[in-house]
Amino acid sequence: MAKRIRNPLAGGGRLLKLTGMTTSIATRVATHQVKSWFQDDALRETNREALMRHIGKEVAATLGEMKGAVMKVGQIASQMQDILPKEISEQLAVLQNASAPMPFHVIRRQLETHLGGKLADHFSEFSETPFAAASIGQVHDAVTRDGESVVVKVQYPAVRRSIDSDMRHLKRILKLGSLLKVNEAALDAVFQEIRSRLDEELDYHQEARNLNRLRDFHREHPWLVIPRVHESLSGEAVLTLSREDGVPLHQVNDENGFDQPLRNQLGERLFDALAAEIFQLGTVHCDPHPGNFAFRRDGSIVMYDFGAVKHLSGEDIELFGEVINAATRGDWQRLDAGLIELGARRPDSHPPPGFYDRWVPLILSGFSSEPVNFTDARVHLDMVETVRKTPLSALLTFQPSSRTLLVERVVSGHYWTMKALGVRSAFLPRLQSSMAATKAG
């Protein structure tokens, strides 16, 4: 008899792995702190960087073996360069890659539990091999009893039960030895924001509502394709959607029929859709992973995965607009006040003179009135270089904000989408137009 693979979300082995990782890291941090008492500054810094790299590797290796919330939070953490030492965030980047699928007997049991009856009662065909696997679920091709091709998203069992334990262990690791560049209250707020989004992402009924809401919002944009929900084949942990095919981002190039004007159009349409969602619908599609978008040669864009969707308050939408307008007109006083209101700037400290003069043009360089060639864009490199030249005391006047965290994730994620598409366009007028539509509404 073939040996069955254990569910990585079940049993005490999961807790032992997380506890063992935490204990190992705590021991290393304590040893480093004792040794640092007897070292000069140069050696202390060299050893600190080595420690960070080791912690990053250990966390990435452990989380990479696991499913569920801890891996999902690890993926998000890999993008938090403003919280984590770069040596750790660089190691966690490996978690962004596709994860190994769950064995099909686990998936079959999950489907039959949530849909009722046998799998054959609901589908005439069902591929046992998923075409995508992630931290909290995987996706399979199938055909309904009526003969329609669909995709079926199945959540791994026991994910919801593991959330609190997973997040508690990961937060404990991030707090060890004062490794973070943020105070505890700000970190707690960020984790609470992630926790709230995970709760929604794990509720496929909620994702179905998100899909229907955004399909309705974009009904006048036929170039934006959002899958249709099969309500009778969906539930809290199973979501069946119409199959909507497209070309993946890495294949959108001249050789596959996407010339420069078409790629520009696709980039502009994606930008317009996301800006409209933020400033007019008050909604953020929070997962900019390239696998959540596909492109067609008729200029259409397919959007997938609406589990991670954040709803913005009217106050936050207004504040975002004020901060953007202050930044574009060089009103540093209003910009600073807006960042404090959003919780992104500490009110008990002040950035040094000239800080905004250096940073704002850099951040806005992708939002220009003149076309930007994103193929050659080096905003990411310039920011790394500017961070290197900026005193730590200046950087510590800022902190991650639970109100801006996911919006920042979307913006930074789609910077890479525009680079991959090789877009050449001017986005500032499009951004201003979307914000003006908010006021008109």
Task: Report mean pLDDT in 10-residue bins for the chain, 441 residues.
Answer: 45 60 67 64 70 70 60 57 59 60 90 94 96 83 97 87 71 59 64 75 90 93 95 94 95 96 97 94 86 94 88 93 95 97 92 94 90 92 86 86 85 91 95 82 54
Asked if residue 414 and residue 307 are part of one domain, the reply reads: yes
* Domains in the chain, number: 2
224 domain residue, yes or no: no
pLDDT of res. 34: 60
The pLDDT score that the predictor gives to residue 201 is 81
**β-bridge mates for residue 248, sequence order:** 294
Which of residues 126, 150, 181 is at a domain's end? 181
Last residue of a domain, one of 181, 209, 234: 181
**CA atoms of 115 and 113, how far apart (whole Å):** 6
Answer whether residue 120 is part of any domain: no
Cα dihedral 214, 306, 143, 238 sign:
negative
Same domain for 174 and 266, yes or no, is no
Q: Do residues 177 and 289 share a domain?
A: no
In a domain, 7, yes or no: no
Global confidence as pTM:
0.75
Q: Looking at the chain, how many residues does it have?
A: 441
Q: Strand 301-303's sheet: what is its strand order?
A: 224-225, 301-303, 293-295, 247-248
Whether residue 3 is contained in a domain is answered as no
Residues 308 and 177 in one domain: no
Nearest partner of 154 among 228, 212, 103, judged by Cα = 103
Q: Are residues 169 and 263 in the same domain?
A: no
Q: Choose the final residue of a domain: 181, 209, 236.
A: 181
Give yes or no: residues 252 and 368 share one domain. Answer: yes
Give a yes or no: residue 311 inside a domain: yes
C-alpha to C-alpha distance for 223 and 258, rounded to whole angstroms: 16
Q: Are 318 and 402 found together in one domain?
A: yes
Query: Do 271 and 399 lie in a common domain?
Result: yes
Tokens standing for residue 424: 């050449």
Same domain as 20, residue 168: yes
List the structure tokens of 168: 């508690």
Asked if the structure places residue 52 within a domain, the reply is yes
Say if residue 167 is in the same domain as residue 278. no
Task: Establish if 76 belongs to a structural domain.
Answer: yes
pLDDT of the residue at 426: 94
Rounded-to-integer distance, Cα 150 and Cα 148, Å? 6
User: Is residue 107 in a domain?
Assistant: no
Give me the pLDDT at residue 38, please. Answer: 61
Same domain, 169 and 253: no
Q: What local confidence, expressed as pLDDT, does residue 2 receive?
A: 40
Pairing of strands 293-295, 247-248: antiparallel
Domain range enclosing 92: 12-96+162-181
Tell me: do 166 and 68 sit in the same domain.
yes
Listed in sequence order, the residues at least 6 apart from 37 whose beta carbon sits closer than 8 Å to its beta carbon are none
Q: What's the pLDDT score for residue 3? A: 42
